[in-house]
Amino acid sequence: MNVRVGTSGGERPGCARTEAHRRARSHRGAGPKAERRAGLFLVLGICATVLAGCASRPGPDVLIPSRVEAPGAVPRTILVATTRTRDPRPGTLFTGERSDKLDFATVTLTVPPTHKPGAIEYPKQAPGNPNTEMVVHEAVYRDTEAAFLDDLNAQLSRLPKGERRVFVFVHGYNTQFSEALLRLTQMAHDANATAVPILFTWASRGKTEDYVYDNNSATAARDSLERTLTLVNQSKADQVTIMAHSMGNWVTVEALRQMKIAGTMLPPNRVGNVILAAPDIDVDVFKSQLKRFGTPQRPFIVMVSHDDKALGISDFLAGNKQRLGNYSNDKDLVALGAIVVDLTSMKSEGDGLNHGKFAQLAGLGPKIRDQVMNQAQSDGGKLPGTVSVGEIQITGLSRAVGPPAE
């Protein structure tokens, strides 16, 4: 049974270099367990306080559907696969608690004609104003895998054969369902993407202090992401691109690793790009994971920023082990078979922790592709090893096969 929902970023940015980050750095090398445990709660507590005071978040009823149409508003349909439990409260759809099964939904929204690239225009008051805000118009639960697959194939059938692409997004830590949903909507809109957007959303409570809970939820979601990708593989899709952000990278790489071991990996000719944005993964763990994949036809694209303060805090929580997303040796990652997109020099818009820069790239895809292909043409058709597009530096392109996928 499909239930129509009568509903009434990702990871949250900060506002300058946080006191939590400064104190986390001062605790590096702490010896006794008690001191480290105290440091853990200190960092989480201060971080929660700082973030609460400097960034707005959507309210609990932000997804209440609106029947108002706005001239110039652009519709977007997002398919949802999730390990969250359903939320009976109006305007919420899913909670941050874990479900014991994979669940589905289909949500239709509009992006306002006044939209600014990279921004999410949250409704200030339910049900929202479609002239100036991102507004939900319809949200429907899907009770079965077959219903999810039917919706996916219906969306794909609207595209020409050979151009039926899917874009799967996996959000990170401290992310409410509504934040993940609207972040994917923003990226799909800014990229002017024709690919069908699928949100895989795991059970994050959307609270800074629940880092450990979120981490365990991400680990528990590996099998469900694997199942979601298997369903996508059964669809009419010609190509599948996967993007994960922060802690969502742990879910993603682990699910892909499981599929590789089981021999159920997506066929190479159907894989677009696997994009790891600001990955909250131990560098040593990632290296061991990458060895399992060997040399893929399309290398993983790793987006890093050496000034990512959120991952600096994560370094501390992980026992001073550097995270992949702020790893400073781009050439080392390229040697492992990755393409590195270095965003260090890019100014972060409204994100004092420099952790959400990836979302600003959505509208730059054509510019980056043109720059790469122009440089390749001037070099006899050979892809360049390194190319700079404004403040963005891309290293390892010579390992890619064919032009960059959407």
* pLDDT of res. 335: 84
Residue at token pair 């997109």 = 341
Q: Which of 96-110, 112-126, 308-322 has the lowest mean pLDDT?
A: 308-322
Nearest to 387 by CA among 396, 377, 399, 400: 396
* pLDDT of res. 47: 46
List pLDDT tens digits, range 348-369: 886 778 898 988 888 777 677 7
Average pLDDT over residues 322-339: 88
* pLDDT of res. 42: 45
8 A C-beta contact, residue 239 and residue 405 = yes
pLDDT at 46 over 50: no
Give the tokens for residue 51: 């973030």
Give, in order, the Cα–Cα distances in Å from 393 to each of 125, 217, 305, 358, 390.
40, 33, 11, 13, 8
* pLDDT of res. 10: 47
Give the tokens for residue 168: 């799967």
pLDDT at 56 over 80: no
| Better-scored residue on pLDDT, 317 or 247 | 247
Model confidence at 195, pLDDT cuts 50, 70, 90, reads very high
Residue type, 184: L
Cβ neighbours for 265, distance < 8 A, ≥ 6 positions apart: 256, 259
Give the global pTM: 0.85
Q: At 244, which helix (H) or strand (E)?
A: strand 239-245
Alpha helices in 6-106 (DSSP H): 19-26, 33-54
Count H helices and E strands in the chain, helices first. Answer: 11, 12
Average pLDDT over residues 147-171: 97
List pLDDT tens digits, range 272-300: 999 999 999 999 999 888 877 776 677 89
Residue type, 79: L
Omega into 296 within 30° of 0, i.e. cis? no
Strands (E), 143-258: 165-170, 196-201, 239-245
Q: How many CB atoms lie within 10 A of CB 37?
A: 11
| Better-scored residue on pLDDT, 273 or 9 | 273
